Amino acid sequence: MAGEPMAVDYYIPLIIFLIVGAIVPIAALAAIKIIAPNRPTRQKRSIYEGGLRPIRDAKIQYSVQYYLFAIVFVIFDVEVLFLYPWIYVYANRAMQNFMAFGLMNYAVFEMLLFILVLLIGLIYAIKKEALRWV
């Protein structure tokens, strides 16, 4: 495997870090199996709810408002994702010279337009009260 570092080489350490990140807490949890006392009773293992016996399950139906926020988040997060490839083109200085259009850089102009559309979408969502917490 000689030659230029490939993109995949940067991700080898990440796997090792992921394994180490899992081993440390698993070792701690294995240690308490040995050194910590374990005498469970029904009272100890019950859910805390103000000292009373819990009423019904906690997996409640939650407000539809959460879904609205989630949908708006997905829209904006995907649009932010589009900005990252733009950086990659914009960061390339050779490409920048190639695209010089008089005063205004073409890539900057396009992205300002995109940001403007984003802002209009956001103002629409705010005016429609999609982002009002109830």
Partner 1 sequence: MDIIDSISQFATQEPALFALIIGIIGAAVISGVVNVGAMLVIWGERKVLSDFCNRFGPNRVGGRWGILQLGADAIKLFTKEDIIPGDADKGVYVWAPIVASMATMLVAAAIPFGALHIGGKDYPLVVANMDISAFYVEAALSLMAIAVFMAGYSSNNKYSILGAFRGIARMIAYEVPMGVCVIAVAVMAHSLNLVEIVQSQTLWYAFAQPLGFVIFVIALITDLGRIPFDQSEAEEEIISGYNTEYSGIRWGLLYFQEYNNALLGSILLSLLFLGGWQGPIIPIPILDIISPLIWLFMKVVIVLWCLIWVRASLFRLRIDQVTDLGWKWMLPLSLLNLGWAAVVGSYFA
Interface with partner 1 (CB under 8 A), residue from 40, 51, 53, 98: 40
Q: Does 76 bind partner 1 (CB under 8 A)?
A: yes
| Binding status of residue 127 toward partner 1 by CB under 8 A | no
Q: Compute the least distance from the CB of residue 12 to partner 1, in Å.
A: 4
Site for partner 1 in 78-117 (CB under 8 A): 80, 83-84, 87-88, 90-91, 93, 96, 105, 108, 111-112, 115
- Residue labelled with tokens 């102009």: 109
In our burial notation (b when 16+ CB lie closer than 10 A, e otherwise), range 75-106 reads eeeeeeeeeeeeeeebeeeeeeeebeeeeebe
Q: Closer to partner 1 by CB, 84 or 98: give it.
A: 84
Contact set for partner 1, span 4-33 (CB under 8 A): 4-6, 8-22, 24-26, 28-29, 31-33
**Of the residues 53, 62, 97, 129, which one makes contact with partner 1 according to CB under 8 A:** 62
List phi, psi (to 5°) of 88: -65, -40
**CA–CA distance, 25 with 27 (Å, rounded to integer):** 5
φ/ψ of 105, rounded to 5, equals -70, 130
Q: How far is the CB of 21 from partner 1 (least distance, A)?
A: 3
Among 67, 69, 101, 124, binds partner 1 (CB under 8 A): 69
Cβ atoms within 10 Å, residue 131: 13
Residues in the chain: 134
